């Protein structure tokens, strides 16, 4: 009787284990070749998958988020970021699809700034200004990569040494970026850096989102909320004037959920200067909160929801105004004007030349550290 009972219990445990193995899921990280850089360096692609089947593909070239596959309200997965099928597309890319941006995200006016009385001259790659780090920013670098443990998902650490004088910036800047795809369907990005000489730094990611999925048209029907009472108006070169302007009564008021297309073609002077939205919003923060909600986007047809959480003081909202259809991405899809949106968490543009803006200076012995989370869910 005892022996028969033991067999029954053992069989039940074995069946339970087999059932769990058949139905349960665990995350994984897979590495494969993605081609070579223009200098002949091997480029790898890491595909992170969480226990829910959500998938993030990240390239060591530019630290690019190549794809991000998340489910819609019916559980059907879809890629929600624009990009290319091979590294060659990113080599020739001028729109920063999915890339890590540095040393300085966004624009620096007249391609120069002054630190401790010394003026540093940068590369002009956006009219008279410097944009996203210069001619060869972090988006054109091959990053070192290694898988690292994560408590709640899969993590990849990328590293890069930006040498003193690169693109005109001072100091040897040692940069570390950790991508974590959590089991809560979040893509968490942690940026950190140290320097051996006083410098400026402003790191971000430039993913282009279309929550309806690839080839689904424009993002004008996406509904957006931004946690910002003010934005930074710009001049004709899209450099901030220094003013912090109230969003109330303007097309920049996204404090309540609003369709992106509702006012994107208004006669507002700032809208005309940007060709749509291409502006930094000043985020409202609760005292003591280490990380706060910056924006929330809903795509009504699929039910996909994107929340952006960050430790940064600003977010650049960009509606893909400069996409002109000349870039053909994954599956040959033509990326046309307003076919995606960007929500780039950041310090403010041109901060090195704007003493009233939050400082982007980094000194030897200090550690730059920021965190941004792109959190995905669905609603009916």
- List, by residue number, the catalytic residues: 206, 344
Give the separation between CA 57 and CA 30, rounded to whole angstroms.
Answer: 9
| Residue 148 backbone phi and psi in degrees, to 5 | -130, 155
Does an H or E element contain 15, and which? Answer: helix 2-23
If DSSP codes are grouped into helix, strand and coil, which group holds residue 273? helix
Q: Which of 1, 41, 46 is closest to 27 using CA atoms?
A: 46
Distance CA 139, CA 146 (A): 18
| Torsion angle (degrees, nearest 10) of CA 324, 226, 132, 220 | -10
C-alpha–C-alpha distance, residues 137 and 104, integer Å: 9
Residue with tokens 């901060």: 351
Q: How far is CA 68 from CA 48, 231, 313, in A?
A: 10, 29, 25
Q: For residues 82 and 67, what is the distance between their CA atoms, to the nearest angstrom? A: 7
Q: What are phi and psi of 110, to 5 degrees?
A: 55, 20
Residue 152 contacts by C-beta under 8 Å, 6 or more apart in sequence? 180, 182, 183, 184
Q: Is 165 left (phi over 0), alpha (psi -120 to 50) or beta?
A: left
Burial zone of 374 (CB within 10 Å; 0-12 exposed, 13-18 middle, 19+ buried): buried
């Amino acid at each position: 009787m005892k022996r028969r009972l033991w067999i029954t219990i053992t069989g039940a445990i074995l069946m339970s284990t087999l059932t769990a193995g058949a139905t349960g899921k665990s995350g994984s990280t897979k590495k494969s070749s993605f081609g070579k850089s223009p200098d002949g360096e091997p480029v790898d692609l890491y595909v992170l998958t969480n226990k829910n089947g959500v998938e993030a593909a990240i390239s060591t070239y530019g630290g690019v988020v190549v794809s991000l596959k998340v489910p819609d309200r019916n559980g059907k997965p879809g890629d929600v970021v624009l990009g290319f099928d091979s590294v060659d597309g990113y080599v020739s890319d001028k729109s920063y699809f999915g890339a890590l941006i540095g040393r300085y995200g966004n624009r620096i006016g007249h391609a120069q700034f002054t630190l401790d009385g010394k003026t540093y001259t940068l590369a002009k790659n956006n009219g008279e200004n410097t944009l996203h780090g210069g001619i060869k920013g972090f988006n054109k670098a091959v990053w070192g990569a290694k898988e690292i443990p994560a408590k709640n998902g899969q993590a990849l650490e990328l590293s890069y040494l930006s040498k003193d004088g690169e693109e005109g910036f001072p100091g040897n800047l040692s940069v570390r970026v950790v991508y974590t795809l959590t089991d809560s369907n979040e893509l968490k990005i942690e940026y950190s850096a140290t320097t051996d000489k006083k410098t400026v730094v402003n790191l971000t990611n430039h993913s282009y989102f279309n929550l309806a999925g690839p080839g689904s048209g424009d993002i004008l029907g996406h509904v957006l909320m931004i946690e910002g009472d003010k934005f930074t108006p710009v001049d004709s070169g899209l450099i901030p004037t220094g003013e912090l302007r109230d969003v109330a009564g303007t097309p920049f008021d996204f404090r309540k959920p609003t369709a992106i297309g509702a006012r994107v073609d208004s006669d507002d002077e700032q809208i005309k200067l940007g060709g749509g939205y291409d502006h930094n919003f000043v985020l409202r923060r609760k005292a003591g909160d280490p990380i706060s909600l910056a924006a929330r986007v809903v795509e009504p047809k699929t039910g996909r929801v994107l929340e952006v959480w960050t430790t940064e003081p600003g977010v650049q909202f960009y509606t893909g105004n400069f996409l002109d259809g000349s870039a053909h991405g994954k599956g040959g899809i033509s990326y046309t004007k307003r076919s995606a949106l960007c929500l780039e968490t950041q310090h403010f543009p041109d901060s090195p030349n704007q003493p009233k803006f939050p400082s982007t200076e980094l000194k030897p012995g200090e550690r730059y550290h920021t965190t941004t989370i792109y959190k995905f869910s669905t609603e009916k």
